Structure 1
Amino acid sequence: MDHVEALLIGGRAGVGKTTVGWEVSAQLAAAGVAHAYIEGDMIGQLHPAPAGDPDRVQVTERNLAAMWAEYARLGCRRLVYTRTVSVLPEYGAMIQRALTGEVRLIRILLTASDATAVDRLTRREQGSRLEAELRTTAQKAPMLEARAPAGTVRVGTDDRPVTEIAKEVIAVAGWLQ
């Protein structure tokens, strides 16, 4: 493979991005498929936000570029990347810049009902973030649905085991063929 492939797993809070990302990584590893897994929400977490970068997009891009440079040096050509907005066009452009060269983007938008998202968030969030997460997840679902570009594959996560969801995501990527 002479190009890079980036599997972008996005979706509102509570759809299971992190859980699915880890399971995708585990299934790929079990099949002997070389890849890296990066949780995008974590590589831009700092407070306060840098001057001129209130949404931390620039610092996220620089951190991703630095991490990817090392993975690429080690021969990695596939990236599993999770972040709420990763499927959006401007975020895909940022990922292409950070990974450099020819990059094939595979966009997966995980979906879940409001009830499922609220249930998962209520079980997950034990601190002061719960109210904010509940408020923003309801806003992000329609925004992501409306702005995801053509070719984005929707994968429902309601009442499904993570192993099954991950198999579907990997099948869309075509990484086990």
Structure 2
Amino acid sequence: MIPVLWLWGPPGAGKTTVGWEVFEQLGCEGVAVGFVDIDQLGMCPAPPSDPDRHQLKARALDAVITNFRDAGTQCVVVPGVTDPVRGIEPVPHADLTTCRLRASPAELARRITVRGGATDLAEALRHAEAVDGAPHHAVDTTGLSVAEVARLVRDQTGWPDPPAPTRTALRPSEESGEILLLCGPAAVGKSTVGWHVYQQLLRAGRTAAFVDLDQISFSRPQLGHDLRAANLAALWRTFRDAGADCLVAVGPLDQPEDLAAYRAALPAATITSYLLDASRDVLLDRATRRARGESPAPGLAGDVLLAQPPDRLAEIADQAARTVDALRGTGDLHVNTDHLPPAEIARRITTGRGGPALS
């Protein structure tokens, strides 16, 4: 078993932000730690008996934390909403510590309004009322800094007491099926285009699933593509059991040989890799907008571009442009994202059309 800290509570309580702070604190202290947001583990068809996917997410989490453990990680931080009635579902391989975060209704409303996105405020406040007063560890985040809340969480729970790291070979998946892998450097448009591909497949009647490879594999120290690929394989097993027939995965790629890890982890699946690129000026423009918080998915953990100064953004754009050049000729299809909107690029991917976007 592996120590897992699950931060739960209503939307806007600070689960992801505080969880990331705990994750970074432990990494700086030399603890081998992982981070995965439970909401990132359920983007697939909902079983009829589990319409909100809480049980499915718990099964997916169990598979993922097993890979973290086998890769040498000592503990994992998990933020995420739980079923307000059933609470936290069983996670067999987790030595589980839970901590509920709360905030005043006015503060929840302020945070949800500021961050934007798709969170329904009235539903979030109903959720907060339903879980408020639950027993066990709880921290009120109202009026406190993120660092202060993280310290209170650690003090109240005494977490973690990590075991010595151990390593075991990561397991491939023998599941068949279709996987679309969209990859490339920072700011190239992977997540935005990939999300449009996923939504278009759903509208076309496919039982599709979606995975952001970074979001399921954050680690300190960084464990790279072997862990990302193993976690993708673990989720694909879970999603196939839930009825998915195809999966859209998005993630970084730095060198051509990185693709081999995914094919090794999913030998029975049909993987089509799409290498996305963009010009240096477009990369810089996108990085700058992300730095200002203009993200299609606000609130995601680990955005390396958020609040970066202009000189750092220029360095990131330069490195991304060099990566684009290094990856030319890699993968099955090359996708330029400069001059077409994401929805149109996604349409060409899902329909197999050629034209300027594909070569």
TM-score range for the pair, normalised by the shorter chain length = 0.7 to 0.9
Match of 2:259 in 1: 92
SS at match of 1:159: coil
SS at match of 1:95: helix
SS at match of 2:352: helix
The answer to whether 1:79 aligns with 2:79 is no
**Kindly tell me: are residues 26 and 129 of structure 1, through their superposed partners in 2, closer, same or farther at Cα, counting changes over 3 Å?**
same
User: 2: distance between equivalents of 1:8 and 1:66?
Assistant: 16
SS at match of 1:36: strand
Of structures 1 and 2, the one scoring higher in RCO (CA 8 A, sep 6+) is 1
The answer to whether 1:138 aligns with 2:322 is no
TM-score, normalised via structure 1 length: 0.77
User: 1: distance between equivalents of 2:238 and 2:184?
Assistant: 27
Q: How far 1:41 sits from its partner (Å)?
A: 1.6
SS at match of 1:83: strand
Asked if 2 retains the 8 angstrom alpha-carbon contact of 1:68 and 1:98, the reply is: no
Asked if 1 retains the 8 angstrom alpha-carbon contact of 2:185 and 2:323, the reply is: no
Query: Structure 1 regions of 5+ residues with no counterpart?
Result: none
Match of 2:234 in 1: 66
More helix by share: 1
Higher radius of gyration, 1 or 2: 2
User: 1: distance between equivalents of 2:351 and 2:197?
Assistant: 10
Q: How far 1:38 sits from its partner (Å)?
A: 0.6
Aligned Cα root-mean-square deviation (Å)? 2.6
| Count of matched residue positions in the alignment of Structure 1 and Structure 2 | 165
User: 2: distance between equivalents of 1:159 and 1:147?
Assistant: 20
SS at match of 2:271: strand
TM-score, normalised via structure 2 length: 0.41
Asked if 2 retains the 8 angstrom alpha-carbon contact of 1:35 and 1:79, the reply is: yes
Match of 2:21 in 1: none
User: 2: distance between equivalents of 1:145 and 1:152?
Assistant: 16
Q: How far 1:76 sits from its partner (Å)?
A: 2.3
Q: How far 1:61 sits from its partner (Å)?
A: 2.9
Asked if 2 retains the 8 angstrom alpha-carbon contact of 1:85 and 1:144, the reply is: no
Query: Structure 2 regions of 5+ residues with no counterpart?
Result: 1-174, 293-305, 354-359
SS at match of 1:90: helix
User: 2: distance between equivalents of 1:26 and 1:12?
Assistant: 22
- Aligned identity (percent) is 32
Q: How far 1:148 sits from its partner (Å)?
A: 5.0
Q: How far 1:97 sits from its partner (Å)?
A: 3.3
Match of 1:105 among 267, 271, 275: 271
What is the one-letter code of the residue matched to 1:91?
D
